[in-house]
């Protein structure tokens, strides 16, 4: 039955991409599409290039009983599964490959069905895992806390919800973990922690708070050769059905309580949600979704950032999928509110000659294959269009990460949903976003 599911999903997806594909083991094919599925829903998180020319990917298993498990899969260079590991009651948000294993960061989920407190029915703790090259967990560190408060004249202990968002190595080989936490009744704060390479020792931990906004971090953190630490976060607040969001780039020194930041969109009347923040040859780049405060009329946007983590406002480009596909139009700041299709910016990677943006387009009567499709856009260093691709079938296809491969191809990881069943999909394309024979 599962083989039939794989075949049907694969054929629908590839036909929609105008691409053919055969499972020919003897060929030296440099592109592929591979699906990972079961009788339960699989949702993609992140895919990284491994040190052996293969890949390491993580996703979420959504079980019928409502419990979410983390799924980690090691593949060869063709996306074929070598091993997989289920980590019960949790998610893995980021992976740092090592020569002899992996560092994983994510959440541990605890369900408290009998709790009288609504916000205590589910609690999350930040989890740092050290895994060997065969998928065995050889180190484990959990970050959790609680507070004592008074409710109705009685002392009550409440759990603090922690999230592990991103991981990187500093110049000394120590592990840098980015995360967030929320004390009940307060805004979500960010934290940065450092651990020894074997994760047995916590070297330092610093937290950062905004009195007006929640920190909603991307799943990437960067450490410079001088040990400065930077990440992208969505500064978020909500009142009733109206949200307010803008891009912030915090950067701090090692073990420093002083935080600097560069912002984008904080004075606009619309929202700038940020989803990905990556390094480039000229500095950094970020991608997200530009929309009304109600979430309607959404466009993809991307912006360049210099080596000192300063956002370059004039570099911003905005993409309405239908305008792009029909008229080759990329919007600038003056025309950024033009919105015909609903588009979300989800992931970005830098190349030697520009940037590849990856997002989601919701089909309209004029463009799309039905439901949601993956929209790839290649621009030059100045934001001019080089090429565009729409990948998808009659179901929903979304993207969670994109990486540049050593042969200048693209590794795209996402989720495919057909008839209510979701599976993870890993695509390796050539440098033009094509799947070739």
Backbone angles phi, psi at 327, to 5 degrees: -125, 5
In a domain, 328, yes or no: yes
Tell me the average pLDDT across 337-366: 96
Q: How far apart are CA 280 and CA 301, in angstroms?
A: 17
Q: And the tokens for 128?
A: 């740092």
Q: Where are the alpha helices (DSSP H) in 229-342?
A: 321-327
Angle at 336 between CA 332 and CA 340, to 5 degrees: 125
Range of the structural domain that residue 275 is part of = 268-394
Phi-psi region of 328 (alpha: psi -120 to 50; beta: other; left: phi over 0): left
Is 372 domain-assigned?
yes
What residue spans of 306-436 are helical by DSSP H?
A: 321-327
Whether 144 is in a domain gets the answer no
Q: What is the mean pLDDT of the chain?
A: 90
How far is 421 from 22, CA to CA, in rounded Å? 24
Query: 2-26: per-residue pLDDT in tens?
Result: 333 333 444 344 434 433 323 334 3
- Give me the percent of the chain exceeding a pLDDT of 70: 90
In a domain, 354, yes or no: yes
- Tens of pLDDT, residue by residue over 255-279, are 999 999 999 999 999 999 999 999 9
Nearest Cα residue to 432 out of 49, 53, 51, 30 = 30
β-bridge partners, 217: 233
Per-residue pLDDT at 116: 53
**Angle, CA of 387, 390 and 395, to the nearest 5°:** 170
Nearest by Cα to 44 from 60, 67, 64: 60
Q: How far apart are CA 160 and CA 144, in angstroms?
A: 7
Task: Write phi, then psi, for 309 (nearest 5 degrees).
Answer: 65, 30
- Cα(231)–Cα(376) distance, integer angstroms: 24
Strand partners, 222: 230
Which pTM value belongs to this model? Answer: 0.91
Look at residue 385 and tell me if it is in a domain: yes
Residue 3: φ, ψ to 5°: -60, -35
Confidence of residue 121 (pLDDT cuts 50, 70, 90): low
Contact call for residues 276 and 321 (beta carbons, < 8 A): no
Q: Which two tokens stand for residue 388?
A: 């565009």
Assess if residue 202 is contained within a domain.
no
**Euclidean distance between CA atoms 375 and 251, whole angstroms:** 30
Q: Band of the pLDDT at 1, cuts 50, 70, 90?
A: very low
Output the pLDDT for position 117. Answer: 61
Nearest C-alpha neighbor of 388 from the set 377, 380, 399: 377
- The pLDDT of residue 28 is 55
In a domain, 411, yes or no: no
Whether residue 160 is contained in a domain is answered as no
> How sure is the predictor about 326, in pLDDT bands with cuts at 50, 70 and 90?
very high
The count of structural domains within the chain is 1
Distance CA 199, CA 126 (A): 14
Residues 418, 397: Cα–Cα separation, whole Å: 9
- Per residue in 221-259, pLDDT (tens digit) is 999 999 999 999 999 998 877 889 999 999 999 999 999
Q: Give the tens place of pLDDT for each residue, 182-236.
A: 998 899 999 999 999 999 889 999 999 999 999 999 999 999 999 999 999 999 9
With beta carbons less than 8 A apart as the criterion, state whether 243 and 273 touch.
no
The predicted pLDDT at position 309 comes to: 97
With a cut of 80, say whether residue 87 has pLDDT above it: yes
């Amino acid at each position: 039955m599962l083989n039939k599911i794989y075949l049907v999903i694969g054929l629908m997806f590839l036909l929609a991409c105008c691409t053919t594909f055969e499972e020919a083991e003897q060929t030296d094919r440099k592109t592929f599409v591979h699906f990972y599925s079961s009788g339960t829903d699989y949702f993609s998180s992140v895919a990284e290039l491994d040190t052996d020319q293969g890949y390491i990917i993580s996703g979420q298993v959504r079980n019928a009983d409502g419990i979410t498990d983390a799924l980690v899969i090691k593949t060869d260079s063709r996306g074929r599964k070598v091993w997989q590991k289920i980590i019960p009651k949790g998610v893995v948000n980021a992976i740092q490959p090592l020569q002899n294993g992996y560092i994983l960061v994510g959440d541990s989920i605890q369900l408290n069905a009998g709790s009288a407190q609504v916000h205590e029915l589910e609690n999350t703790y930040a989890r740092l895992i050290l895994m060997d090259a065969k998928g065995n967990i050889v180190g484990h560190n959990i970050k959790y806390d609680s507070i004592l408060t008074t409710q109705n004249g009685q002392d009550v202990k409440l759990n603090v919800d922690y999230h592990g968002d991103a991981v990187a190595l500093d110049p000394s080989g120590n592990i840098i973990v980015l995360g967030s936490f929320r004390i009940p009744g307060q805004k979500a704060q960010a934290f940065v922690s450092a651990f020894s390479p074997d994760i047995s020792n916590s070297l330092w931990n610093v937290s950062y708070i905004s009195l007006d906004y929640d920190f909603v971090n991307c799943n990437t953190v960067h450490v410079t050769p001088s040990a400065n630490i930077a990440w992208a976060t969505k500064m978020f607040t909500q009142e009733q059905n109206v949200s307010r969001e803008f891009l912030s780039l915090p950067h701090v020194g090692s073990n420093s309580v002083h935080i600097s930041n560069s912002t984008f969109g904080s004075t606009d009347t619309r929202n700038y949600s940020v989803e990905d923040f990556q390094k480039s040859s000229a500095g950094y780049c970020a991608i997200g979704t530009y929309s009304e405060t109600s979430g309607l009329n959404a466009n993809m946007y991307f912006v360049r950032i210099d080596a000192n983590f300063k956002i370059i406002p004039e570099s911003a480009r905005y993409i309405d999928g239908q305008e792009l596909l029909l008229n080759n139009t990329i919007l600038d700041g003056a025309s950024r509110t033009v919105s015909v299709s609903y588009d979300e910016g989800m992931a970005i990677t830098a190349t030697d000659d520009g940037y590849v943006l990856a997002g989601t387009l919701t089909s309209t009567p004029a463009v799309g294959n039905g439901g949601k499709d993956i929209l790839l856009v290649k621009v030059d260093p100045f934001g001019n269009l080089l090429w565009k691709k729409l990948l998808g079938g009659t179901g929903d296809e979304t993207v969670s990460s994109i990486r540049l491969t050593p042969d200048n191809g693209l590794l795209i990881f996402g989720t495919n949903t057909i008839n209510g069943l979701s599976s993870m999909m890993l695509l390796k394309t050539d440098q033009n976003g094509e799947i070739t024979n």
